[in-house]
Chain A
Amino acid sequence: MTERTMNITLHVWRQDNPGKPGKFERYEATDISEHSSFLEMLDLVNEGLIKDGKDPFSYDHDCREGVCGMCGMVINGIPHGPQAATTTCQLHMRKFKNGDELWLEPWRAAGFPVIKDLVVDRDAFDRIIQAGGYITSRTGSAPDANGIAIDKKTADAAFDAAACIGCGACVAACPNASAMLFVSAKITHLGLLPQGQPERKDRARKMVAQADAEGFGGCTNHRECEAACPKEIKFANIARLNRDFIGAMIKAPDDVPKPQPVR
């Protein structure tokens, strides 16, 4: 295994808290191995900053396997960076070249206030799930798991939608900062399954109302979300969401759910 090394110039968004204005700061990442991951490159720059007694920049991450959904930043204008279907933590430096200049920014959306630097507050996603992104099933009351057969195609399609990691890249990519791809992934996952039918229409109505209350915009078919999504959640899910939502509104137009208070 031969090893190529590279020097990269970083412009990192620095912001102390949501109230303060932020700005880009320039850092040099030198002698970076092509085998290192993108986050390892950032770790290294930060280690240098710590040793110099400077405040390292903050970014979220945890599993570093592309599944927890914790990491995410905009790299040269693209949420999660240049590699398709790949989270920030799964990017590797061999995709970059010596001398590259990278601009790193947090997700930008009214629904995701900046906590510090590249870290944002995504509690809004949890509140959208609270509003209706579940199947009510009291612990211990479940019938035998093989009681209902679900054809493989439907189960696989439900799985595809359930693969959403709740990272928020779809919101960051959307010109309207819409959360509809995220919402539609949950609507599709639960709405395809027989267990999810009783609450199906209510679910759509409540989740959409909550997303509106959180300050996420509407979907106007830009499809940027689909391109940015690291888990390849399909844009077509939004059509399903619209069907469930409209169906619910026709049936009971006045029954508008009350969203959770937004902090």
Chain B
Amino acid sequence: MELNSNEPSGPLEERWTKHRDHGKLVNPSNRRNYTVIVVGSGLAGGAGAASLGEMGYNVKCFAFQDSPRRAHSIAAQGGINAAKNYPNDGDSVWRLFYDTLKGGDFRGRESNTWRLAEISNGIIDQCVAQGVPFAREYGGLLANRSFGGAQVSRTFYARGQTGQQLLIGAYQALERQIGAGTVEMHTRSEMLELIIVDGVARGIVTRNLVSGEIEAHVADCVVLATGGYGNVFYLSTNAKGSNCTAAWRAHRQGAAFANPCFTQIHPTCIPQAGEHQSKLTLMSESLRNDGRIWVPKKKEDVTKKPSEIPEEDRYYYLEERYPAFGNLVPRDVASRNAKYVCDDGLGVGPEVAGQRRGVYLDFADAIERLGQKEVEDRYGNLFEMYERITGENPYEVPMRIYPASHYTMGGLWVDYNLMTTIPGLFAAGEANFSDHGANRLGASALMQGLSDGYFVLPFTVGNYLGTVRELPKVELDHPEVKGAMERVTTRIDKLLNAPKPSKTADEFHRELGALIWDKCGMSRNEAGLKEALEKIPEIRERFWEQIKVPGTGEMFNQTLERAGRVADFMELAELLCIDALNREESCGAHFREEHRSEDGKEAKRDDENFQYVAAWEFSGDVSKPTLHKEPLVFERLKPSTRSYK
């Protein structure tokens, strides 16, 4: 396998333009002769399918939900970045590029990151033209706010529902194309296999989730915009249905998977309340601007009411350990420290699986300083959400928070064109790995999804089709098509007919999730990772032996859907740990306990040995993937150390 990033050369700021100037185009009247499959209707897939359809391609779009509008992008709260510099605080494409690359701890690809920053402004224009109701100032112009990791206000937002509004914009554009007949939409349809003919991606096999029918769809190229794999940990802020199946099936067919161990843990989520909790809810990070984080100093105080713990017995651990940034340290630092205090037995809230996992986020000082009214104006909707979920009133008792799996920087390896290592297979949005390095800054995922969908894919897909020109027609009875369909039916049969059916998919998923959250979550070490790598194959074996799925494949069967997704997480989890073990450094969200500064607080990156993208190739044996390295070259920025002390 050869990893060629296909980046254009020359000055960074000219690369994207140059690439477009010299790329191949497809004649407008010829476009309808090409069929493009887009799997996913989130920001990346929805925007991509709508734009490609509008250009005249024959597009088929797929989503497992009942409507394209329900993709997980809908849940994003905080906002979307762009280098507009409307607030006149000195922002520029350069600064957005710099912040993104540095925030990613120099593990992203320079050309891609620059392009993302360059395209950002056009995204905002596009969205406003579609009617996305961004927040505005009294003068009627667009409002901005600041977000972690930046010194400028460059985040556009629509109350706490930015993802929803952006997705509805893309969804409406997509529906317009569906109405116009350029896009054929397949909802409640799940991709379960990739069809490759003569080494080139030519289609997908799906299961119609209503009838259970297994269908083959052939095309001239395939785009996967299927989101991230944060649910591998079972509990996460992702939607319940978010899964890795599409990407993982492609990986098994030859697409390299890059940097799987770069998983982001968000520090401010509502803690788990019990063993049967199904998901975790994110609370906007903005809360850390005014809330103070603490735990009791003494173990015997953890069950006391917070109001009964006097000031001198409270441990404001972030303020003490990081006096310069205090409660506003970056996501990974805040998360790890919460874990450490809870591991030390100082956590608060209910005991789940033998441990109290929660720290206080206290607004008492803020209420005293600003008044309840002002706090309500700033955070009212968040406080309300917190109360709805926990039944506690945060104006009276401190909130409890704990970190949760939130976003995955790793994903399918792609080149500058967003093409994977399988020709004709593209990956966009959270499903690919390229732009955020080892850590994503807040408000940058929405930007990347829309950049890929509205602006990158429409050009690079055309460039690909214009280059390959005419591909041989693939009939539905082609051996490769039949082979892919057979792989799907065999797997479904196996899921339905385990030898000793006794446990549910959720039980296995919880077991797997708890293991990797513990060994490969916020903080990782060699012994723990090795232990996980021994246990995962064992859980997987039990899964295939004991998985219990009632009903048949020929019906609406949500249990079967879930079991199939968990089966793929079982394999991805192993690659996650293999990658984490291989990366003997701490960078971004990946923290290896063996690699930290003398005082134990700071992560130690190793540029000499690990300044590369780890792209894993499936070898036929899940436990023995082959590592390929894409060296990262920084022509413009010299990697510097992240320090927040």
Contact = CB atoms under 8 A, between A and B. Distances in A.
B239 A133 contact: no
Contact of B550 (A56, A123, A130, A142): A56
B197 interface: no
A43 B175 CA distance: 33
A152 B279 contact: no
Contact of A139 (B54, B131, B161): B54
A65 B75 contact: yes
Contacts of A55: 550-551
B321 interface: no
Interface string B601-613: 0000000000000
Contacts, number: 225
Interface stretch (B23-31, B136-144, B423-431, B475-483): B136-144
Interface residues of B, number: 83
Nearest to B139: A149
B638 to A, nearest CB: 34
Given A40-B277, A62-B70, A131-B179, A137 B558 contact: no
B251 interface: no
A60 interface: yes
A250 interface: no
Contacts of B127: 145
Contact of A137 (B126, B137, B281): B126
Given A64-B240, A130-B179, A70 B86 contact: no
B168 interface: yes
A138 B177 CA distance: 11
Given A134-B172, A139-B458, A123 B187 contact: yes
Contact of A61 (B130, B136, B240, B502): B240
Given A56-B559, A70-B66, A135 B172 contact: yes
A3 B130 CA distance: 48
Interface stretch (B383-391, B511-519, B625-633): B383-391
A240 B171 CA distance: 23
B131 A189 contact: yes
Given A90-B388, A137-B126, A60 B274 contact: no
Contacts of A86: 388
B550 A35 contact: no
Interface stretch (A96-104, A156-164, A221-229): A156-164
Contacts of B133: 155-156, 158-159, 162, 189, 193
B70 A150 contact: no
A137 B86 CA distance: 23
B399 interface: no
Given A51-B504, A159-B159, A166-B69, A145 B278 contact: no
A130 B176 contact: yes
Given A37-B278, A40-B277, A140-B122, 15 more contacts: A1-B392, A3-B350, A50-B550, A51-B548, A55-B551, A64-B278, A68-B72, A68-B74, A126-B185, A129-B175, A133-B172, A145-B128, A150-B136, A151-B138, A158-B133
Interface of A: 1, 3, 16, 33-37, 39-40, 43-44, 46-47, 49-51, 53-56, 58, 60-65, 67-70, 86, 90, 92, 94, 115-116, 119, 121-123, 125-126, 129-131, 133-146, 149-152, 155-156, 158-159, 162-163, 165-166, 189-190, 193, 195-196, 260
Interface of B: 47, 50-51, 54, 65-70, 72, 74-75, 84, 86, 122, 124-131, 133-142, 158-159, 161, 164-165, 168, 171-173, 175-176, 178-179, 185, 187, 210, 239-241, 273-274, 276-279, 281, 349-350, 388-392, 454-455, 458, 502-504, 506-507, 548-551, 555-556, 558-559
